[in-house]
Structure 1
Amino acid sequence: MRKLIVSTAILLACTGAARAEFSIPGYELVHTVPVETTLATPDLREPLQVWSEMFDSAKHDIVLGQFYVASQPGAAFEQVIARLAAAGERGVKIRFLMEEKGKFASDMTTIERLKKIPNLEFRYLDYSKLTGNGIIHSKYMVVDAKAAYVGSQNFDWRSFAHIHETGLRITDPVVVAQVQKIFDHDWHAQELIAQGKEVPRLNQATVAADDRQATFLVASPNAFNPAGVGDSESELVKLLAAAKSEVRIQLLDYAPLSYGPNRTRPYYAVIDNAIRSALARGVKVKLMVSNWNTEKPGIAYLQSLALLPGMEIRIVTLPQASSGFIPFARVIHTKTMEIDGQVAWIGTSNWSGGYLDLSRNLEIVLRNQKMAQRIADLHQQTWNSAYAQPIDVLKDYPKPVKGKE
């Protein structure tokens, strides 16, 4: 009970405090600072506040597309689930779509609690039934078809306290409608698969993003993107090809490898080729990844990339929590890019094979100096911190500890 009281107090302190918010028209930048670190973003609201407000504002319906679900007693995240439950209790229709393979990372007790929320329908979708080897890796929601959230935060208590995460609260009506269409497509795909039917491809050829817009959504996989939604894989390559001076990237991990049968890692050159091409033109690239990226064979590719002129790579290791080891936490999970102080990329995808080509992921591109600079500053803060160290191209890194000691 004492833990729950503390969590409630934290929530009230957050929601009752002066409204710190960094936004441009239609988009608010939202950030999770890992507790017990020296990192700080006082001008950015946390998802605990933003998600709670979104659920509280719901009048008709809420849809969520998530990779997995996890909470625990006493966590501040429990308040988010309480707000979602309150929405269901007052008659809001809730549809929750989760990747079936996400069960391995989920807390099944939390899933059962969600299923008991009034007016909530919970479904699993095995996304590999659409693409052969993909997952729902996106993390997003839409409320009343008026506001959406897209970001790196999973529906996980750790993502709200112990992981470096970044997302966007979106009120741009065009993009909100597109996110809703993506959910509606995948929800219907689940119905077709449950009936033993094939899910028809929506696109045979690659659909280019409408980058005449200042801000726009791109998504993957291209074959199952609704009309008007461009392909994220080709757009990422296009943006890197247009870079003139500097690119800053922050990721959980990076490797020009995909995921094949029997734990094989087929070569996936799309993004790596684009980065190497930018470097060859004289563009400086600063790539920041988590210490999870020191796992073999990915670390070998990182060390190779670090040898190229203009390339800087830093590996971030966050300190363990004072409470002890927390599995699958204390890591940077943000997926952002900033280009030339002009363009920001904020999304849900890892930059390796299987994500931008085969899995459901969403990314927002913002051609806005203010947002680009804020993403650059967010990158710089961690880059300059004691947690980030330049990659050692000669070091034989030990296998990172992720799930257990």
Structure 2
Amino acid sequence: MSQQKCIVIFALVCCFAILVALIFSAVDIMGEDEDGLSEKNCENNCRITLVENIPKGLNYSGSALFHLPLFQGWWNLLNMAKKSVDIVSSHWNLNSSSPLARQGRRLLEKLFQLAARDIEIKLVSDVLTADSKVLEDLKLKGAEVTYMNMTAYNRGRLQSSFWIIDKQHVYLGSASLDWRSLGQMKELGVIFYNCSCLVLDIQRIFALYSSLKYKTKVPQSWSKRLYGVYDNQKKLQLQLNGTKSEAFVSNSPKLFCPKNRSFDLDAIYSVIDDAQKFVYIAVTDYLPLISNVNTQRIYWPDLDGKIREALVLRSVKVRLLISFWRNTDPLTFNFVSSLKAICTEIPSCSLKVKFFDLEKESACLSKEQKDNSFPKLNRNKYVVTDREVYIGNFDWVGNDFTQNAGAGLVISQADAGNETSVIKQLKDVFERDWYSPYAQNLQLTKIPNCLSHRPITAAPDKTAAATPNVN
């Protein structure tokens, strides 16, 4: 009898412990987040600015508008840091001997200085960059480095690029911590100042990445502390430069989307579906295919089909600006031709495609010539409509969304035509590029022979493959 009582008591104690754990788990997510930050006390009256890297030598018209240089934006963020710097980047290559890497070396030195001042620095990268000397040097200075094994998790790689400074300021965009992003790459991103409500959400993506440290597989269920705070159904209400706005952060792959976190693909869908007049898309590569481990390819209709739907069923004007470079897949032109064909004899169907070419003279260079050249490349990755913008880390290639890790940001604004509206500003950026001499109407029959006859392979990484390794 005594033994049975002990068993009953033990069982009751275990049940009580489990109940307490569940209660605290619920309180944990519904109450305060790190550093006492919560939905009730976070700041949502924010300032926002676009940041761009425009490679030296690009000749726009004299009236062309430009935004804050990427280097200056990053430098300002690091100067504002008083407590913490959290950075996710796919590449860490700042300390090159190239004369074009001066700004990258300055950023690295600044990070060293912050570490020396005991400012907490946390960095996330792909395990493929584990041999990065920059990361090793920062670790020696006290930075905490987390490597994500995307190859093991999802046969992919990390492409996310965002910063969080002092739980107050955020950068998200196309550029990674690579000197080439500050030199020869045309990059675009956005910086939020004093926007801790947005930090409350994007910090959880950073925490999700950090939770994978030393793990070779993704957990079957995520901690509630990693659930999304805002998504497409529950958007963050905020003021951006005095304009009433809504925003939410999305994530990829779907494997990395806990409860209440929007998948990147769904975020883009929502932006295109809400468009009433136009959809402008800027990406480096457009290739609606998925390549598997056996190098076999299957059609990936998700975004390609969404464009067709907007064109034919809703008569939304679509403009597609794709980069043209030495690794452009020839099949891109076939898919573009197919998109154009759908508008045949449909008066209300308006689709135009241009290719943004910054390296005309080097598209057909030999390997030796390429090694001695520093080609320029447009790496912008965004969608802007008459109502919303999406800024992300991916090109419109199937494998990016199905396998790789990336983050995106959707912003809706009530007064999209306001000069301070980020929608108006990004629309102006697109039109500046669209009407520039670098945007061309290319056809499959007019592409350089060196591209039309080369073997068709999956497009490599746009930063690492576009320029030579000079380390």
Instruction: Show structure 2 runs of 5+ residues with no match.
Output: 1-44, 237-245, 344-349, 363-368, 455-464
Give the equivalent residue in structure 2 for 1:37.
58
How many residue pairs get aligned? The number is: 371
Is the Cα contact below 8 Å between 1:256 and 1:271 reproduced in 2? Answer: yes
Aligned match of 2:430 in 379, 382, 389? 379
Distance 1:261 1:189, change over 3 A: same
SS at match of 1:210: coil
Going from structure 1 to structure 2, the CA distance change for 1:101 and 1:326 (only over 3 Å counts) comes to: farther
* Matching residue of 2:289: 257
Residue 356 of structure 1 is matched in structure 2 by: 401
In the alignment, structure 1 residue 334 sits paired with structure 2 residue 380: yes
Q: 1:289 to 1:53 in 2, by over 3 A?
A: same
- How far, CA to CA, are the matches of 1:92 and 1:231 in structure 2? 33
TM-fit CA distance, 1:225: 2.8
Alpha-carbon shift at residue 82 of structure 1 (Å): 1.2
Match of 1:294 among 324, 328, 335: 328
Say if 1:70 and 1:156, in contact at 8 Å, map to a contact too.
yes
**What is the CA RMSD across the aligned residues, in angstroms?**
2.9
- State the match for 2:170 in structure 1: 148
Give how far 1:102 is off: 4.7
C-alpha deviation, 1:286, in angstroms:
0.5
Aligned to 1:241, which of 273, 276, 291?
A: 273
Give, in whole Å, the separation in 2 of the partners of 1:27 and 1:217.
Answer: 15
Q: Distance in 1 between matches of 2:67 and 2:272?
A: 27
Q: Distance in 2 between matches of 1:37 and 1:326?
A: 20
Q: Specify the alignment match of 2:88 in structure 1.
A: 65
Distance in 1, matches of 2:336 and 2:183, equals 28
TM-score between both structures, scaled by the size of structure 1? 0.83
Deviations 1:69-112 (A, max 9, x none): 12313422211111111110100121211112356xx8x44343
State the alpha-carbon separation in 1 of the partners of residues 422 and 372 from structure 2: 32
Separation in structure 2 between the aligned mates of residue 345 and residue 48 of structure 1, nearest angstrom: 22
Report percent identity of matched pairs.
22
Q: Conserved in 2, the CA contact under 8 Å of 1:208 and 1:234?
A: no
Q: Does 1:210 align with 2:242?
A: no
Determine the C-alpha separation between the residues in 2 that align with 1:244 and 1:96: 40
**Amino acid corresponding to residue 219 of structure 2 in structure 1:** V
Check the 8 A contact 1:65/1:136 in 2, yes or no. Answer: no
User: For 1:210-264, what per-residue CA distance to the aligned partner results, in whole angstroms no more than 9, with x for missing partners?
Assistant: 3644122112123323554322211212322232221111111111112311333
| Counterpart AA for 1:356 | F
**Distance change in 2, residues 1:255/1:211 (3 Å):** farther
109, 114, 118: which one pairs with 2:138? 114
Give 2:457's aligned residue: none
Tell me what 1:230 maps to: 262
Q: 1:356 to 1:189 in 2, by over 3 A?
A: same
Alpha carbons of structure 1 residues 230 and 327: separation in structure 2 relative to 1, 3 Å: farther
What is the CA distance between 1:208 and its match in structure 2?
5.8
1:284 aligns with 2:304: no
Q: Which residue of 1 aligns with 2:209?
A: 186
Evaluate the alpha carbon distance shift between residue 162 and residue 198 of structure 1 in structure 2; reply closer, same or farther with a 3 A threshold: closer
Q: Which amino acid letter does the alignment assign opposite residue 383 of structure 1?
A: W
Q: Secondary structure at the match of 2:446?
A: coil
SS in 1 for 2:431: helix
1:123-202 map, 5 Å: 123-130=146-153, 132-171=154-193, 172-193=195-216, 198-202=218-222
For the residues of structure 2 that align with 1:163 and 1:394, how far apart are their CA atoms? 28
Q: What SS class does the counterpart of residue 385 from structure 1 fall into?
A: coil
**Aligned-partner Cα distance in 2 for 1:188–1:212:** 25
What is the CA-CA distance between 1:60 and the residue it aligns to? Answer: 2.2
How many Å separate the matches in 1 of 2:117 and 2:169?
19
- Mean CA deviation greater in 206-215 or 151-160: 206-215
| Matches of 1:144 and 1:329, distance apart in 2 | 36
Distance 2:201 2:337 in 1: 39
Using a 3 Å threshold, how does the CA distance of structure 1 residues 182 and 392 change in structure 2: closer, same or farther?
same
Q: Report if aligned partners of 2:85, 2:163 keep a CA contact under 8 Å in 1.
A: yes
Q: Which runs of 5+ in 1 are unaligned?
A: 1-23
Query: Contact 1:327/1:402 (CA < 8 Å) preserved in 2?
Result: no
Which amino acid counterpart does residue 302 of structure 1 have in structure 2? V
Counterpart amino acid of residue 90 in structure 2: F
State the one-letter code of the partner of 2:339. L
How far residue 307 of structure 1 moved from its aligned partner, in angstroms, is: 3.0
C-alpha separation in 2, matches of 1:114 and 1:329: 29
Deviations 1:8-35 (A, max 9, x none): xxxxxxxxxxxxxxxx934221111111
Tell me what 2:338 maps to.
Answer: 304
Report the Cα distance in structure 2 between the residues aligned to 1:404 and 1:65, rounded to whole angstroms. Answer: 23
- What is the DSSP-based 3-state SS (H/G/I as helix, E as strand, rest coil) of the residue aligned with 2:286? coil
| Contact 2:184–2:374 under 8 Å retained in 1 | no
Residue 356 of structure 1: SS of its match in structure 2?
A: helix
Q: Partner residue of 1:18?
A: none
Residue 77 of structure 1 aligns to a residue whose secondary structure is helix
C-alpha contact 2:280 2:430 (8 A) present in aligned 1: yes
The 3 A distance-change label for structure 1 pair 305 and 219 is: same
The TM-score normalised by the length of structure 2 is 0.72
Distance (Å, rounded) in 1 between the aligned partners of 2:377 and 2:397: 18
Counterpart CA distance in 1 for 2:117 and 2:466 is 40
Bigger CA drift: 280-289 or 291-300? Answer: 291-300
Question: 1:167, 1:174 → 2: CA distance?
Answer: 19
Question: Cα distance 1:208–1:174, how it changes in 2: closer, same or farther (>3 A)?
Answer: closer
Q: CA deviation at 1:201?
A: 4.0
